[in-house]
Amino acid sequence: MENKAHNLLSKIATNDGHGENSPYFDGWKAYDANPFHLKHNPGGVIQMGLAENLLCFDLIQEWIEANPSASICTPQGAVDFKETAIFQDYHGLPEFRTAIANFMSRVRGNRVKFDPNRVVMSGGATGAHETVAFCLANPGEGFLVPTPYYPGFDRDLRWRTGVELLPVVCESSNNFKITEEALETAYEKAKLANIKVKGLLITNPSNPLGTFLDKETLKHLVSFVNDKNIHLVCDEIYAGTVTTGDQFVSIAEVLEEDPTCNRELVHIVYSLSKDMGFPGFRVGIVYSYNDNVVNIARKMSSFGLVSTQTQHMLASMLLDNKFVDHFISESRVRLAHRHEMFTRGLAQVGIGSLESNAGLFFWMDLRRFLKDPTFESEMTFWRIIVNEIKLNVSPGSSFHCSEPGWFRVCFANMDDETTMIALRRIKTYVLKNKMLEIKTKRQCWQNNLHLRLSSRRIDDILTPHRMSPHSPLASPLVRAQN
Ligand SMILES: Cc1ncc(COP(=O)(O)O)c(C=O)c1O
């Protein structure tokens, strides 16, 4: 029956390239079935699998209230209602593209300028990735992607385009660095499998690691794609979430410093979903240094335009430099504080994480909690986390991590109180387990001691050769008597 129904539909409609049958989405389902609420459901599952940035909405609200003309549904903005409602053009509002280019630049500390004419819109970074994949590769061709990587890529780049993703295996032994060796190995493997490599896709800062690439590595990646004559797609949607420590370096800065590299191979994917915290507005950007890609991506953007109402409002907001600068710096402070609060709390009970200072998450190391170092054990422990500890964190396997035991924890999609409850739940679990471990060890030790003593007694009786020379049974006198 099901097959019959399937025959009526396309291959894309009936395959599971949407990726929703993975633990990444199962965790969301567990949350949906029993969502935590401070008052109404305090025993529910806390959602820590969602990379959302909710920490600065008070600043946004203040701006909205202070700028009523930016919204066309207010008495002050209603004069623009008609023009906004009837505008439809895949180039987008010129002031919107200027505002986006301005914002991309400010987020990167004004160290690099972006050209509004290269800004192409799409439905979130999700749509931007698919557009780029459609522009650069044919079905069956592939992109190299360093692991661990954002699970949505399996859907966004592959599902409807038929493009393949080819993992570049990165490991914890060097903090998941992208090495030349790993790149070459993945490239050669693709060649052996007869898959034409069309590009390298990086996420910088990384989701799920929360780290970003240094300039040397970026330069190296640029020369790698130049040597192979393949594309470099840089997802920089977390560019504005870098908090403390070293400064984030955009691929745009590397290109500006290197006039010899072929810029036409480089494309940036951006979005306002993370840095501004607006995933609901579906503002995605393709920023390509290749004129042909800009041209064709713009035509393709007809399938995923940003509503003109949203463009209109964001144009005003993102051209307000004073607001933008304050927002970015305050957001960084709040993210850093939350990150510190969580990771320090976990460290108190001996849980470590990869050192990081970007993104809306960190990469938690639970390798020592696994029964054995396998992905089956990772899933077993993940089920304990979701069903017993009642936290939806995402297992490393869903990010194609090569080593079991890593979990991504999102920390910016909740308030302080919920954060404390989540932390308390983990601490309680660890301490309870420690007590149990100590009790079991003590019991084992006691049992062993008892066993050792009693077996010694039996041994003593049964094996005279092991007896003390002072034992009466061992004495030649007794033996003689026997
Ligand atoms: C690295 C990365 N790229 C793309 C996306 C999709 O973003 P958007 O909501 O703009 O489609 C996400 C969302 O989590 C992401 O983490």
The answer to whether the beta carbons of residues 377 and 404 sit under 8 Å apart is yes
Nearest to 275 by CA among 360, 382, 374, 176: 360
CA of 126 to the centre of ligand 1 (A): 6
- Which of 159, 206, 237 maximizes ligand 1 atoms within 8 Å of its Cβ, making it the mutation to test the pocket? 237
- 362/368 Cα distance (integer angstroms): 17
**In a shared domain, residues 252 and 106:** yes
CA of 75 to the centre of ligand 1 (A): 35
The answer to whether the beta carbons of residues 268 and 107 sit under 8 Å apart is no
Q: Give strand pairing partners of 266.
A: 232
**In a shared domain, residues 319 and 439:** no
Q: Is 460 a catalytic residue?
A: no
**In a shared domain, residues 314 and 445:** no
Q: What number of other Cβ atoms are within 10 A of residue 404's Cβ? A: 20
Closest ligand 1 atom to 128 CA: 11
> What is the bridge-based pairing of β-strands 266-271 and 231-235?
parallel
Query: 28-59: b or e for each residue (b if 16 or more CB lie within 10 Å)?
Result: bebbeeeebeeeeeeebbbbbbbbbbebbeee
For the chain, the domain total comes to 2
Taking each helix axis from N to C terminus, what angle separates 94-107 and 308-318, rounded to the nearest 10 degrees? 50
336 CB-contact burial (10 Å; exposed 0-12 / middle 13-18 / buried 19+): middle
Q: Is 90 a catalytic residue?
A: no
- Inside any domain, residue 145: yes
Q: Is 274 a catalytic residue?
A: yes
The answer to whether the beta carbons of residues 305 and 217 sit under 8 Å apart is no
**In a shared domain, residues 148 and 291:** yes
The answer to whether the beta carbons of residues 364 and 407 sit under 8 Å apart is yes
Cα angle value 8/10/11 (rounded, 5°): 125
- Inside any domain, residue 261: yes
Taking each helix axis from N to C terminus, what angle separates 308-318 and 321-348, rounded to the nearest 10 degrees? 90
**Alpha helices per DSSP H over 54-179:** 57-66, 81-86, 94-107, 124-136, 152-156
Write the CATH number for 79. Answer: 3.40.640.10
Catalytic residue among 72, 202, 237, 426: 237
Where does 152-298 show beta strands of DSSP type E?
164-168, 197-203, 231-235, 266-271, 283-288
Where is the domain boundary, 297, 324, 351?
324
- Inside any domain, residue 85: yes
What is the DSSP secondary structure assignment for residue 91, as one 8-state letter?
T
Q: Measuring from each residue's beta carbon to the nearest atom of ligand 1, which residues come in under 6 Å?
A: 51, 124-126, 150, 152, 203, 207, 235, 237, 271, 273, 279, 284
**In a shared domain, residues 314 and 449:** no
- Inside any domain, residue 86: yes
- Inside any domain, residue 395: no
At residue 53, the 3 state secondary structure works out as: coil
The answer to whether the beta carbons of residues 245 and 340 sit under 8 Å apart is no
**In a shared domain, residues 257 and 139:** yes
- 288/139 Cα distance (integer angstroms): 21
- Which of 206, 274, 413 maximizes ligand 1 atoms within 8 Å of its Cβ, making it the mutation to test the pocket? 274
CA of 206 to the centre of ligand 1 (A): 11
Where is the domain boundary, 324, 353, 387?
324
- Inside any domain, residue 23: no
Catalytic residue among 150, 187, 238, 287: 150
Below-70 pLDDT ranges, the chain: 1-6, 23-24, 436, 439-442, 444-482
Encoded amino acid at 362, one letter? F
Cis peptide before 205 (omega within 30 of 0): yes
**In a shared domain, residues 314 and 447:** no
Domain limits for position 439: 433-481
Is the entire prediction scored with pTM above 0.85?
A: yes
Where is the domain boundary, 268, 303, 324?
324
Q: Give strand pairing partners of 392.
A: 47
- Inside any domain, residue 364: no
Cα separation of the two ends of the chain = 85
CA of 25 to the centre of ligand 1 (A): 15
**In a shared domain, residues 144 and 273:** yes
Catalytic residue among 26, 154, 156, 235: 235
- Inside any domain, residue 5: no
- Which of 271, 287, 362 maximizes ligand 1 atoms within 8 Å of its Cβ, making it the mutation to test the pocket? 271
